Amino acid sequence: MDEPLTVAISSRALFDLGESNELYEREGLEAYRQYQIAHEDDLLDPGDAFSFVRKLLNINKLLNKRRVEVILLSRNSADTGLRIFNSIKAHNLEITRAAFCGGESPYRYMLAFGCNLFLSTQADDVAHALEHGVAAATLLGGSGRPETGGEELRLAFDGDSVIFSDEAEKVFQQQGLEAFSRTEAAAASQPLEGGPFKSFLAALHGLQREFDGMPCPIRTALVTARGAPAHERVIRTLRAWDIRLDESLFLGGMEKTEFLRAFGADVFFDDQSQHCERASPVVTAGHVPHGIVNERD
């Protein structure tokens, strides 16, 4: 791979801006601006995606070359964003590129930056990113969630409507589990179409391959409600794409939270908001508003 794997992240996903955002909601933009200027030398605490970003950037040090890049895409102005850059420097994060959009959505700069993934707490910005073909998720925080330890980056993905298209999910939603199992078994040799995270997963797998002969600091897992016989089509699809996941959990409808805790995911991506909400107390959960389930919301 020639270009680095590029992740765009919002300031509220990277740092805990809850206090200042509450001020903005309560007293407006000018009060928020004055607050950030008055506190621009105060270090911001890590946000929901901080651990993910830190571990991702560490890959450059392990490979001794620039293979990943993180870009800040923010609704802040450059004036209020100075505190964010000061905190980036204080936390020793190698983030040098940013777009401060003065209250407007930053999605229009994603393609120009060549982003593979966008993480934000703004659902509208995430929806715009997905519409423009960029993998994206709305991060959900959870009180009391433990910090992820170690240097290994662990990412967990739902299958249908995230890695894969929602073609099978449509059958399940419209005709039920029996029809879903029957049609998936019949189509086991036919690869599924790609979903919004296919290209990001492919880029991530390419990065894993660069650690050939060395311990890889990236570990991936498929965590899906599918069970037998619907598992076979998934396995054959990934084989056809030449994409490998380190672990595959076929849960047959079981609740995912404890499995995500056991895996130790830094981020879990799922198209169903209820799965993300249940998991958010133990892992950072990214809601991917794509597919038939989200069309009904």
Query: What residues are labeled active site?
Result: 158
Q: Please choose, from the candidates 182, 278, 194, 185, the residue with its C-alpha nearest in 3D space to the C-alpha of residue 241.
A: 194
Degrees, nearest 5: CA angle 107-113-148: 80
Task: Assess contact for 248 and 222: CB atoms under 8 A.
Answer: yes
Consecutive H or E run containing 234: helix 231-241
State whether residue 250 is helix, strand or coil.
strand
Who contacts 86 (Cβ-Cβ below 8 Å, separation ≥6)?
A: 40, 41, 43
3-state secondary structure 79-118: HHHHHHHHHHHHCCCCCCEEEECCCCCCHHHHHHHCCCEE
How many CA atoms lie less than 13 Å away from 17 in the CB half-sphere?
27
Task: Assess contact for 228 and 250: CB atoms under 8 A.
Answer: yes
**DSSP 8-state secondary structure symbol assigned to residue 288:** -
